[in-house]
Amino acid sequence: MLEVRSLSKIYGLRYALKDVSFVAQPGRVLGIFGPNGAGKTTLVRILAGQVRPTAGTVSFFGRQASGDEPEVRRHIGVVGHHTFLYDDLTAVENLRFYCRMYGLRLGESELLSRLEEVGLASRAHEPVRYLSRGMQQRLALARATLHNPEILLLDEPYTGLDQSAVALLDSLLARERLRGHSTLLVTHDVEHGLQLADDVLVLVQGRIRASGPAQQFSADSVTSFYQSQGEEAR
């Protein structure tokens, strides 16, 4: 379980996040929505240990996290605006590198199986720099789930994906739910996000404006919280 309490982040004189609190329950998808500049990416980066909060706490399974420490990395998988892939390495070499990073011992057949899951088995030995953006995003998903993390942090994971890859990611989220894992999903596609989410969090100007079970929200009700601010949704 992921628990966030009174989380704030200040850049200069501006609050990127202010007094954000929530719990991400096992086996559920938390959809996070909001306009540009709402603090969604800042939130994901703090949860991933990439940025330190100004105030507040983040706890994984009852243990408070203090930053980008090995114990944190074991619990989470992250897909964000950067793929964290190495361009000069092939797809399978990237996975092999992250196996070493996580202390995993996966053989070649298992790594190829992971690539098969994301539709990249035929590109296993191709350098990442020659893969399309959508293929790189698929590989980033394989990287993020390589160590079977209990919590997935997904910041606009559908960017650059074609229709078949979107369906693949949807099935991956369903699989993670069945495994009892938590998923935090940031997406600008509110309608699609609501179809996937069990719970909803709406951020506007760094603050939580609404939260609750997904069935209580429609796409219009979500966007009304930030369209009233005169901002364009992500």
pLDDT bracket for residue 231 (50, 70, 90): very low
Mean pLDDT of 221-229: 83
Question: What is the per-residue pLDDT for 232?
Answer: 41
Question: What is the per-residue pLDDT for 151?
Answer: 96
pLDDT bracket for residue 234 (50, 70, 90): very low
The 55-60 sheet, strands edge to edge = 14-24, 2-11, 55-60, 63-65
| 51 C-beta neighbours (distance < 10 Å), count | 18
Between 74 and 97, the more confident residue is 97
Question: What is the per-residue pLDDT for 31?
Answer: 98
Return the closest-CA partner of residue 215 out of 229, 200, 231, 230: 200
Mean pLDDT of 141-151: 95
Supply the pTM of this predicted model: 0.91
CA of 75: how far to CAs of 7, 69, 115, 141, in Å?
20, 11, 21, 15
Question: CA geometry: angle at 32 spanning 27 and 33, to 5°?
Answer: 150
Between 161 and 115, the more confident residue is 115
CATH number for region 1-75+149-233? 3.40.50.300
Question: What is the per-residue pLDDT for 139?
Answer: 96
Mean pLDDT of 183-207: 97
Mean pLDDT of 57-77: 80
Does the pLDDT value for residue 185 go beyond 50? Answer: yes
Return the closest-CA partner of residue 196 out of 219, 225, 179: 219
Length of the chain: 234
Question: What is the rounded radius of gyration, in angstroms, for the C-alpha atoms of the chain?
Answer: 18
Owner of token pair 């088995």: 121
| 114 C-beta neighbours (distance < 10 Å), count | 22
Does the pLDDT value for residue 212 go beyond 80? Answer: yes
